[in-house]
Amino acid sequence: MESFRKKIQNQIDKIPEGRIFTVKNLDFDVSKTANVNAYLYELVKKNKLKRIKKGAYYRFELSKLGLGPKPVYQEEKIRYIISKIGGYQSGYYIYNLMGLTEQVPAVITIATPNPVREFKFVNLRINCIKAYKESVTSGEIEYLRILDAIRQMNHIPGRTSSDIYQDLKKKYFMKYKDKDIRMIVKLAGFYPPKVRMTTASLLQDTGHIETSKDLKESVNPITRNKYLKREIYETT
């Protein structure tokens, strides 16, 4: 038993401090699950780990000022949640960081291919929206967040859709290089017609005429004409 516990402890020691983990992050024979849970419970009682919720533990980092264990930071909670349900952080909290709204929401939004109902994790309220791309790389997240903002531009608090349009144009599209344009066009292809048409309008307004035409043509003609008449925002 001692050697088994040592094997589990060695694995725990390799988990970075400040990280949440579960028993699934540990390598052991499934028949030993009860033993592992008992050992983790022991470590919690000895204040070597903190139990965050059922099955989730926190390998805390000690304060260098002698103030005891550092708390579980929000970024780590979000990282853990994303590791469980997939996707990336988006929504109004991110739009605030992007400078699209001054309001800071009380809810954290995760874009995930399979959205679930709003839930709580520790002291966070988590809301899920649909991620239109199944598998996401870290290099795509910035562009996906912009496309999410385009999709939700009528609902971003404290701003009009025209405000959001102008901000996206000035903060992002006017500064984009060719590689950025290629990426935003590629990812826009996963989104509904309204997002593609608005993205095409932003490209047109920033001088990417041919690329804009190609993106517009990815929308069927009837839908394209509808959005050309009603849904493209003022560009002055």
Check residue 122 and give its pLDDT: 85
| Entry pTM | 0.82
Model confidence over 157-171: pLDDT tens digits? 999 999 999 999 999
Neighbour count for residue 24 (Cβ, 10 Å): 8
Computed over every residue of the chain, the mean pLDDT equals 89
List, for residues 177-235, the tens digit of each pLDDT value: 999 999 999 999 999 999 999 999 999 999 999 899 889 888 887 776 666 545 554 44
For every residue of 160-195, which 3-state class applies, written as one string? CHHHHHHHHHHHCHHHCCHHHHHHHHHHHCCCCHHH
pLDDT at position 1 is 56
